[in-house]
Structure 1
């Protein structure tokens, strides 16, 4: 791709990226990033290949979007799989660093960038980029939900709500599809580059606006509902100023619920991929336990539709660990193993190995805290069929207690947990 001559230096695998690999390196005083698929099996379920993805990035850049410059694509002779090469843009994609101290103009940059992407003429979009329909997308989620057991009542509640609140047709535009902190490169002056175009499609612009605003993508900044860096009214005003199109709050809420549920099902899919043997990485199976994050987020959105009588305070489940004397318990053995990794193993590691050690510690913590909350297929079916709704006495309180218990084990530091305990007690 780069031609003969020159030595590759500083080759480093970048952290993150559950589906694709990204490698940074220097050659002849220039920086590059190679984005590639680690296996053909992971590419099989995608809507289009890396050739279309690279063409999309080139198109976006040609229309003024801050997208990286694609300089070449992998071919069979490279023997590196499927992928493409970009010039490296300097900045950080570390989401927690970005939301901790966002540049003052960052939210305006996001609005400007989305407006520019949505203005790209559809006639120029590469063939193979799919068009979406809200109803078909919801039913696709329902199919996935069933394939993963169909036994999570909060997800069933969200599916039922989405079916009951389908928006009418919208003027279609090109969507990035994964526009969120973590896929956006930021420097001291603001947004530097829009990365990760693998989910681009044609659809309702409100989906792009809402996707990056789900709480999982705010990285602890629950008080900043716009991408974790600002307020929704400021995002809506900036987008209208840049695009000339007013944001419809009802459409935004629909896509916020949709995107939250979509990510929850993606978490379950990660576990399914691990079980199938397609990818046995530790990171992938641990992500599977993040589904409980999305359930508490969904309840906090959807409870607005419940009768006031059902929104009364609940008795919160205890998060105190059980005490045990005599032989060490399962939780105590796991605690000891985690302490050994933290104290003796992790300090010797660096880069991705250190990241994986943190993933292992997270997994051990989940097992240590887990209280064995059972899934409930019967209740999920009742909700999907409408036999149980938010008007059913006691249902909302039960869902809140169960979701809190699960999240206490899976992600006790998740921002919505403390917020929900405050609101629901």
Structure 2
């Protein structure tokens, strides 16, 4: 399914749209973004539409519900007054293009940079709060039974299992999980939770909210979860200074939520869900790499998002350190000395060189290909920064120790360490170099 051609998509969409009395399908184009699902825009019957579909059927295997249930949730939210898109038709197996559904296209942009620069952000924030209050007016029975009800303790246990499956080697995430286990909340009456209510999933035009998208994580639970998720630092983008969705103050957000029928706010519960969802997204980022490795989705963006775990680790630590003793919080952090390469080009410099070349062909690409080029350059930048910040700093410290006479080849283990580094480095750089085989034979006994 992931290898579906444009012609196959057009043919499958034509079959689906004919059930809605619309044809033919023209102007099919992949939209940029989409961390989990694909989005394709097209025209039919003189109007614009968007296909939302999974990158593969395997990708849907472990999800709590399918696209049919998601479409039903969107319809229920729209009926409750939420600025949700109109679902036109769901894909069927005979359409031959996998799992998904078609919505009528809405005006506006989902680009956080553009939205956060719009005039009257306070008005937009109030609209977002009002829509969230309407979502939270929905109860079990208003949507299909397949929409799950969150068990807080089980949710923590599931995250703990994800953590162990990811290697269990992230101390900050471990701190977050332990804090959640120690501070798990009492259950409140469950209401419908969007589950992904944040910049990136909201459409806006001229400072007005025009759409609430991406309902695949909908479930029933604590309304503070939705309020907190969009306020995470990662979803405020460049407007870290505006804690509510990147648009304004928490007080304005909370007031607008309650004025429009929302429920009473509890700051303790709000903080709990900030921490919970930060841990959730950190593990979600890690999982992206496994989705790529497994072949469920080989999109380049998966690998890049997996490296964003470090963002959540920093945010999580900033949330958790509020509970640390004052004397610990007052201790300074050492800043490592910058490393400047003077020898052969490092791996990071090679990555930068490729990135610079890619920039020269950017003008030849458009649409999703242009977006993927930007993702590729981002990945190369990560390689370059990793090359600078990790192994070189260790090497720099070792060199300083050698010059200071603190270590020499008579030092226990140094020669073995240097041999191993030489083998590893050459195996990456020039694996066919003749001396490499000779060194391996002499140092390791490998023939």
Shared fold per TM-score greater than 0.5: yes
SS of match in other structure, 1:283: helix
Deviation at 1:292, TM superposition (A): 0.1
Distance 1:151 1:112 in 2: 41
Give ranges in structure 2 of 5+ residues lacking alignment: 1-15, 392-447
Cα offsets for 1:65-84 (capped at 9, x unmatched): 11111111111221111111
Which of 16, 19, 32 aligns to 2:33? It is 16
Structure 2 residue aligned with 1:190: 208
Cα offsets for 1:206-247 (capped at 9, x unmatched): 001001111111112111111111111111111121125221
Which of 23, 44, 48 aligns to 1:31? It is 48
SS of match in other structure, 2:49: strand
SS of match in other structure, 1:250: helix
**2:306 is equivalent to residue 291 of structure 1:** no
Distance 1:261 1:102 in 2: 33
Which of 273, 283, 292 aligns to 1:274? It is 292
**2:253 is equivalent to residue 238 of structure 1:** no
Structure 1 residue aligned with 2:324: 306
Distance 1:244 1:57, change over 3 A: closer
Q: Is the 8 A contact 1:321 1:369 kept in 2?
A: no
Cα offsets for 1:135-162 (capped at 9, x unmatched): 1111111110010000000000111111
SS of match in other structure, 2:307: helix
Deviation at 1:253, TM superposition (A): 0.1
Which of 166, 171, 182 aligns to 1:153? It is 171
Q: Is the 8 A contact 2:119 2:207 kept in 1?
A: no
Structure 2 residue aligned with 1:2: 17
Distance 1:116 1:277 in 2: 39
Cα offsets for 1:237-278 (capped at 9, x unmatched): 111211252210000000000111111100000011112222
For normalisation by structure 2, the TM-score amounts to 0.80
Runs of 4+ in 1 over 6 A off after TM superposition: none
Structure 2 residue aligned with 1:421: none
SS of match in other structure, 1:112: helix
Distance 1:9 1:204, change over 3 A: same
Distance 1:192 1:72 in 2: 21
Cα offsets for 1:143-192 (capped at 9, x unmatched): 10010000000000111111111111111101111111111111114111
Structure 2 residue aligned with 1:351: 367
Distance 1:173 1:77 in 2: 35
**2:192 is equivalent to residue 174 of structure 1:** yes
Distance 1:180 1:43 in 2: 22
**2:94 is equivalent to residue 80 of structure 1:** no
SS of match in other structure, 1:331: helix
**2:342 is equivalent to residue 324 of structure 1:** yes
Q: How many residues align?
A: 371
> Radius of gyration: which is bigger?
2
Structure 1 residue aligned with 2:106: 89
RMSD: 1.5
For normalisation by structure 1, the TM-score amounts to 0.84
Distance 1:260 1:269 in 2: 14
Give ranges in structure 1 of 5+ residues lacking alignment: 374-425
Distance 1:372 1:275, change over 3 A: farther
Q: Is the 8 A contact 2:198 2:230 kept in 1?
A: yes
Deviation at 1:303, TM superposition (A): 0.8
Q: Is the 8 A contact 2:289 2:303 kept in 1?
A: yes
Distance 1:333 1:244, change over 3 A: closer
Distance 1:302 1:199, change over 3 A: same
Structure 2 residue aligned with 1:341: 358
